Amino acid sequence: MSETGWVPIALSRFIAPGTSAGTAVHGAEIVVWRDTGGKAHAWEDRCPHRGMKMSFGFVRGDHIACLYHGWEYDETGTCRYIPAHPDLEVPPSICVTRYAVTEAGGMIWTALPLGDMPEVEPNAPDMDGLRSLYIDAPLDAVLAGVKTVASEVSQTGALITATLGEAPLTLGLQTIDADHSALHITLPSDTPTATRLSLLDQFATLRRNVESPLKEAAQ
Amino acid sequence: MTQLVLHNYDLDDACYRVRLVASCCDLPVELRNVDMFPGMEQVSPPYLKLNPLGRLPILETADVTLRHTGAILLYLAGLDPQKRLLPTEASALAQMMDWLFFAERDLSVASTARAISIMDVPGDGPATIAQTRALLRIMEDHMSAQEIKGLSFFAGEEITLADLALFPAFALSRDCNIDHDAFPALRLWARRVRATPGFVVMPGIPDYH
């Protein structure tokens, strides 16, 4: 797969300040975390010490710490503190690989190929995050499913706009791996609660319809 | 105050539920530690006398011996003078019970999946893990809807017994290789549960300090 450019990896509102989460793009594991000042980060999900997932760790101010041995990394990905050696001046070569990160349209994005730092920001309209829907299916199957229920479906890069019922939606598309995808569902901030709840139901049905034939085929 | 004795195994998630609820209700509990793994002490003759089902937790008082986690949790929440984990309104109470039964009955497969993974218990690992994941997804769907309604917890605006009964299965899911990646609403919910006064952890659930 040779997807390039910005890809959404989470809804902004689900990565609260001081928290981290794991995700993956085309099989590459990523930790997405937000420091207590509110800034988002996307790094390789691997502590250089013992390979533990950084997403299992915890955020302290503008540092993220590994769950295993508490090694702390600053926002540049550089290790700053090793609890077992509190007086050690940590060599600056101990670093976690950082990826491009930005926020637009209610989503947190990184860029492919990982490590690439695009100069132009993703072009996404201002929207509210509804939910990230994780589907056990390839993205192609998810897109086909969206097209059966939504109208005016149009895709630009990893973003599609579509109308479902009366609701104008923007959907962020994430290929987690060959068999797993995520849809980051966003909508205008003035969308009423009843419409939001109805959309949740419709997307849960969509997920079921997309997954069922694959599950049956696997049996 | 009634003396409460919990026959406990620290790594057992059901025993943890009892310790967690007792702590959040400010109830002192005397722990009697049982060698469940690898000793299987819960099926030794003295323990079979206490609980012929051969399971933990068991809560003993001067008056009663309780051996179902849900019954123990309800008893502790009722002993709390503030009744802080029990909704008074009928519909909220019913929703709490609905999720409490879900935790005790449906979600017991999560305990099984974890026991197969880490305690050498025989069983179908992949099948129980798939079932656990499907149940966590039901929880994720529910909390996604709750958030849209402006509700922070499973049965409403306030934390109830249901949240504490459900929490361990999610918090410990990595013990059987289910990551939290696909559960953003549960991640935010778990963070709120962690902020509850009296919240305690168990091995496998980091306290972040």
Residue listed under structure tokens 């168990």: B202
Distance CA A142, CA B144 (A): 20
Per-residue model confidence as pLDDT tens digits over B113-163: 999 999 888 999 999 999 999 999 999 999 999 999 999 999 999 999 999
**Touching check for A135 and chain B: CB below 8 Å?**
no
Compute the nearest-CA separation of A22 from chain B (Å).
5
Per-residue pLDDT tens for B43-92? 999 999 999 999 999 999 999 999 999 999 999 999 999 999 999 999 99
Q: Do B184 and A132 touch (CB under 8 A)?
A: yes
Bridging pattern class, strands B30-33 and B5-8 = parallel
**Contact of A107 with A10, CB cutoff 8 Å:** yes
CB contact under 8 A, B181 and A132: no
Spell out which residues of chain A touch residue B187, defining contact as CB-CB under 8 Å: 14, 19, 21
Please tell me which residue of chain B has the smallest CA distance to A59: B208
- What share of chain B in percent tops pLDDT 70? 99
Residue B209: the pLDDT is 52
Q: How far is CA B12 from CA A153, B18, B23, B110, B119, in A?
A: 49, 10, 17, 12, 10
Contact A21 B174 (CB under 8 A): no
CA distances for B58 relative to A10, B18, B30, B32, B198, angstroms: 42, 10, 12, 10, 21
Q: How far apart are CA B112 and CA B116, in angstroms?
A: 6
Chain A window 148-167: which residues touch B at a Cβ cutoff of 8 Å? none
Contact B130/A at CB under 8 A: no
What chain B residue is nearest to A65 in terms of C-alpha separation? Answer: B208
Distance CA B123, CA B85 (A): 35
Q: From the CB of residue A44, how many other CB atoms can be counted at a distance below 10 Å?
A: 20
**Structure token digits, residue A134:** 């994780």
Rounded to a whole number, what is the distance in Å from the CA of B90 to chain A's nearest CA?
A: 24
Mutation for testing the A interface, residue in B181, B188, B193 having most A CBs under 10 Å: B181
ipTM: 0.95
Say if B181 is an interface residue toward chain A (CB within 8 Å): yes
CB B186 within 8 A of CB B180: yes
Q: Which of A40, A47, A35, A50 is nearest to A10 (CA)?
A: A40
Task: Please tell me the predicted confidence (pLDDT) of residue B1.
Answer: 59
Please list every residue in chain A whose beta carbon sits closer than 8 Å to the beta carbon of residue B177.
none
What CA–CA distance (Å, rounded) separates A171 from A182?
Answer: 10
R_g of chain B, CA atoms, integer Å: 17
Through-space distance between the first and last CA atoms of chain B, rounded to whole angstroms: 33
Which regions in chain A score pLDDT beneath 70? 1
B181 and A134 within 8 Å at the Cβ level: the answer is yes
Please state, in angstroms and rounded to a whole number, the distance separating the CA atoms of residues A102 and A15. Answer: 13
Instruction: Provide the H-helix boundaries in chain A.
Output: 139-149, 193-218
Of A23, A55, A131, the CB nearest to B144: A131
Test A19 with B181 for CB contact under 8 angstroms: no
Q: Any CB–CB contact under 8 A between B182 and chain A?
A: yes
Q: What is the dihedral of CA B40, B23, B163, A36, to 10 degrees?
A: -110
Identify the residue whose tokens are 């310790």.
Answer: B19
DSSP assignment of A101-154, as one string? Answer: -EEETTEEEEEESTT---SSPP-----EEEEEEEESS-HHHHHHHHHHH-EEEE
Question: Chain A interface, mutation test: which of B133, B140, B142, B148, most A Cβ atoms within 10 Å?
Answer: B148
Dihedral over Cα of B14, B136, A45, A62: its sign: negative
Interface residue B151 vs chain A (CB under 8 A): no
Give the pLDDT confidence score for residue B208 in this predicted structure. Answer: 72
Q: Do B184 and A131 touch (CB under 8 A)?
A: yes
Determine the average pLDDT of the residues in B182-191: 97
Taking contacts as CB-CB distances below 8 angstroms, the residues of chain A near B184 are 10-11, 14, 21, 131-132
Please give the structure tokens belonging to residue A116.
Answer: 């690439």
Kindly tell me the burial class for residue B155, based on how many C-beta atoms sit within 10 Å of its own C-beta (0-12, 13-18, 19 or more).
Answer: buried
Give the C-alpha distances (Å, rounded to integers) separating A37 from A34, A62, B76, B198. Answer: 8, 7, 40, 27
Predicted model pTM = 0.96
Q: Which residues 79-108 of chain B have a CB within 8 Å of chain A?
A: none
What residue has token string 């696909």? B182
**Contact status, residue A201 vs residue A140, Cβ threshold 8 Å:** no
By the CB < 8 Å criterion, does B71 face chain A?
no
Asked if B148 reaches chain A (Cβ–Cβ under 8 Å), the answer is yes
Query: How many CB pairs (< 8 A) connect A and B?
Result: 46
